[in-house]
Structure 1
């Protein structure tokens, strides 16, 4: 890693820390900028949660916007200082909102611990995928975000992919399905989803390089 790369990493880490601290101190502009960094991350997580529970019944972008609005009203509750801690806090808000939407869709206001647990598992799996080995493999130290924020870049890249590419990657890596199950879910042959998966990962890596 060159000195220039190290400076970029340090600057990115410092920028996020500074924005978090400013947001906690009541700077609404800083909070807005911070949430903008996390918007695609929230859309991706909302998409995976809706995929399991409300497919076609709600828009991931609308859910992400609700999370941002809730974060604006409750930033005083956040006590962390790192990118990962902030992501975890937003994920908790998202889980609560998704559970509320599912209850509304089912016509009940009664809390369902199993539903909430399933949502938490889905979101944790999606978030874990973003922060897993694949994130390290398709990012380089010279990119604009620090390594510990690579999950934000990966979420943004995934959201920019064609739907079929994104779906096969989610089913294979987030849901952990074998290719036979992926094929069944997508209504394709095993051979076609394997080729789609290879192309999707290649496109993802290229997209990451362009960020």
Structure 2
């Protein structure tokens, strides 16, 4: 993750970015890359990821956010985070509509966007809860957003199995039996994998502090 410094510096960066400072906007958007990757990997239909990758969707989202920053009318950092999620949702919907013929025939775009928006927001809430429960509960909104970005960036650095078990358990809210079924492992093996993954995530977070 691009270092934005402490929460107050991040808030100042946000204010300069939405005021028209292009360099600040570049740094701010880069700091959200890991966060968007986590959400994209979780919600981009696995059946089309051989055609369009989560990274492709994130790159398109960052480019569109940079281009369309004038369309953002909020004044708070959490509003900017929500706006980025909506840009991501629309790009995931575009990918599904382009690469899944069944979706073209059976799902109206408005329904797809609405469903994706709800599920992405739910994942955001779960990610926020993981950040607050496992690490710290910042006093400020800027501090919370900073922690959220740090957590997502650390999650992206984990080995694939560690990242998968945390995403399934925390972002998708599956119980250990469901995670075991999805990962084709025993429940006991999944529990041990999850414990190791959480410890590695904690260490990765400490390195960023």
Q: What interval of TM-score do these two structures reach, taking the shorter chain for normalisation?
A: 0.7 to 0.9
TM superposition shift of 1:138? 3.5
Cα distance, 1:106 vs structure 2: 1.8
Partner of residue 182, structure 2: 185
What is the alpha-carbon distance in structure 2 between the residues aligned to residue 54 and residue 178 of structure 1? 26
Q: Deviations over 1:184-204 (max 9, x none)?
A: 111111111111111111111
Aligned to 1:100: 94
Query: Which structure 1 segments of 5+ residues have no match?
Result: 1-10
Shift of 1:56: 3.8
CA deviation vs aligned residue, 1:127-158 (integer Å, no higher than 9, x gap): 112211x212433589xx82442110110011
Corresponding residue for 1:18? 12
Counterpart for residue 135 of structure 1 = 131
Q: Tell me which residue corresponds to 1:164.
A: 161
Does 2:148 correspond to 1:154?
A: no
Match of 1:34 in 2: 28
Q: Does 2:74 align with 1:77? A: no
With over 3 angstroms needed to count, the CA separation of the structure-2 counterparts of 1:25 and 1:148, relative to structure 1, is closer
- Contact kept, 8 Å, 2:48 with 2:100, in 1: the verdict is no
- Report deviation, 1:86: 1.2
How many angstroms does 1:120 deviate by? 1.3
CA apart distance, 1:52 = 5.8
The partner residue of 2:59 within 54, 65, 68 is 65
Q: Is the 8 A contact 2:10 2:146 kept in 1?
A: no
Q: Shift of the alpha carbon at 1:51?
A: 4.9
Shift in Å, 1:183: 0.9
1:55 Cα offset (Å): 4.2
Aligned position for 2:117: 120
Q: CA deviation at 1:101?
A: 0.5
Pairwise CA distance, 1:91: 0.2
Q: Which runs of 5+ in 2 are unaligned?
A: none
- In the alignment, is the contact (CA less than 8 A) between 1:80 and 1:86 conserved in 2? yes
